[in-house]
Amino acid sequence: MSITVEEVFETVKMTVHQHFDIRTVTLGINLKDCMDRNLSQFCKRIHKRIVTKGKLLNKYADEIQLKYGIPITNRRIAVTPVSILLEPLPRTVAAAVKVAKTLDNAAEEAGIDFLGGYGALVQKGMTSSDKNLMDSIPEALAQTNRICGFLNLASTLAGMNMTAISDFGHTLKKLSANTKNGIGCAKIAVFANVPEDNPFMAGANHGVGEPDFTLNIGISGPGVVRNVIASNPDCDLTALSEVIKRTVFKITRAGELIGREMAEQMKIDFGIVDISLASTTASGDSVAEIIEAMGVSQMGRPGSTAALAMLMDAVKKGGAMASGNVGGLSGTFIPVSEDNGMIKAVKDGALNLQKLEALTAVCSVGLDMFAVAGNTPAEVLSAIIADELAIGVVNNKTTSVRVIPVPRKKPGQMVHFGGLLGSAPIMEVPKIAAPNFIARKGRIPAPIKALRN
């Protein structure tokens, strides 16, 4: 695809005034050929590969950033789901934690921000290796700094693994207790219909259908979109949708350019451009403020879901027009702690958990980065997760949950995570939900729409 110099310069203007950036370049690495029954040998192999490729990723990211003047905010690696890699190894938590620490040390040595893939695909059932990895999560994520995890607990084709969902509520409680302010829970996301090429943490993994190496790009730009909406205060919604599409088209082209050039220099496959609008706590970098610029009085109030649905559609259409390699999650994130507009909406009472769940039916992911009281029962956490993943299963879309039970905090209080993770008001959730339902465990069968052959 030909990309003009004028398009690049126009995008550079967006970076100076509207917070546009390449949010992440994520290198996917296959580690299946490193598998070994000898734990030490296995760890040596994966350490060497990640350090070598990670340093290469940073080298070319620095060169591209300097060449085009577009910030590349995060450099990340995603690996083969680790439960697969653990198959030949002893079924002990200690072995799994050692692998996690090896990955963490390698990421640090290579200068990589985060490494994703410490997870398992358990939407239909669990192997003993999967179970071992799940049991290790409270220790592995508490004893590492850069490792992120994921679990695919449901899918449209397989249904919902309620046994794993029930167990994960207890896993979250243990992980929260093991880390300051429960911050370890921010490093793991659970999914329905997890994509294999997601460049965004915490759910990134290098899926089993991927080649040995891929380079995936995650672009952002809520500030750019908000600016263009604010510049068109009087047009109708049809015209506004067109304005958003054209804007996303431009920023997607920039992501495509950078991704293809980096992949070519690294001599690996170019994977996808993820066109998700990913907010930060920086001023003007809020998805909630986009919805408010469209005319909704405050995020969470009536009209928010319709406005978010329109935004999602325009983002996807603009990205699809710009690139044949759009993938990953692609849409709009609505994390509570990482978006100043979302934080204010919760504090003002305009947004509660029920409305947040409704919004996730039309956004690109799900209940993301929201905090609850540390004494929330495990079965309530599992029930919240089950509700959200059911939306994904029935609607054949990706949904996820990243919930943080914060020890010693009560609803209405604030917790400060720092850095990219921001701050979050503790949201009110019921102290009893569906204990007898969750205790049944088993599997909720796939919906009839799964029979599509």
> For residue 155, what pLDDT is reported?
96
- H-helix or E-strand containing 401? strand 399-406
Q: What is the band of 8 on the pLDDT scale with cuts at 50, 70, 90? A: low
Smallest Cα–Cα separation from 372: which of 386, 359, 385, 360?
Answer: 385
Token digits of residue 273? 């451009």
Q: Is 33 exposed, middle or buried (0-12, 13-18, 19+ CB in 10 A)?
A: exposed
> For residue 420, what pLDDT is reported?
77
Separation of alpha carbons 11 and 222, rounded Å = 14
pLDDT over threshold 80, residue 283: no
Percentage of the chain exceeding pLDDT 90: 74
> Cβ distance 143 to 187 under 8 Å?
no
| Tokens 């649905």, located at residue | 309
- H-helix or E-strand containing 287? helix 287-293
Token digits of residue 243? 């304005």
Please tell me what DSSP assigns to residue 411. Answer: T
pLDDT over threshold 70, residue 301: yes
Q: What's the whole-number mean pLDDT along residues 211-225? A: 88
For 318-327, what is each residue's pLDDT tens digit?
A: 988 888 888 8
Q: What's the whole-number mean pLDDT along residues 61-71? A: 86
Output 153 or 72, whichever has higher pLDDT. 153
* Averaged pLDDT score across all residues of the chain: 91
pLDDT over threshold 60, residue 25: yes
> For residue 244, what pLDDT is reported?
92
pLDDT over threshold 70, residue 15: no
Q: What is the band of 1 on the pLDDT scale with cuts at 50, 70, 90? A: very low
218: β partners: 24, 274
Diameter of the chain measured on Cα atoms: 66
> For residue 6, what pLDDT is reported?
59
Q: What is the band of 172 on the pLDDT scale with cuts at 50, 70, 90? A: very high
Separation of alpha carbons 378 and 438, rounded Å = 10
pTM tops 0.85, yes or no: yes
> Cβ distance 65 to 14 under 8 Å?
no
List domains and CATH numbers for the chain. 24-192 (3.20.70.20)
pLDDT over threshold 70, residue 47: yes
Q: What is the band of 393 on the pLDDT scale with cuts at 50, 70, 90? A: very high
Output 385 or 419, whichever has higher pLDDT. 385
Token digits of residue 399? 């949904």
Q: What is the band of 419 on the pLDDT scale with cuts at 50, 70, 90? A: confident
Of 125-129, 248-252, 436-440, the poorest mean pLDDT is in 248-252
> For residue 3, what pLDDT is reported?
53
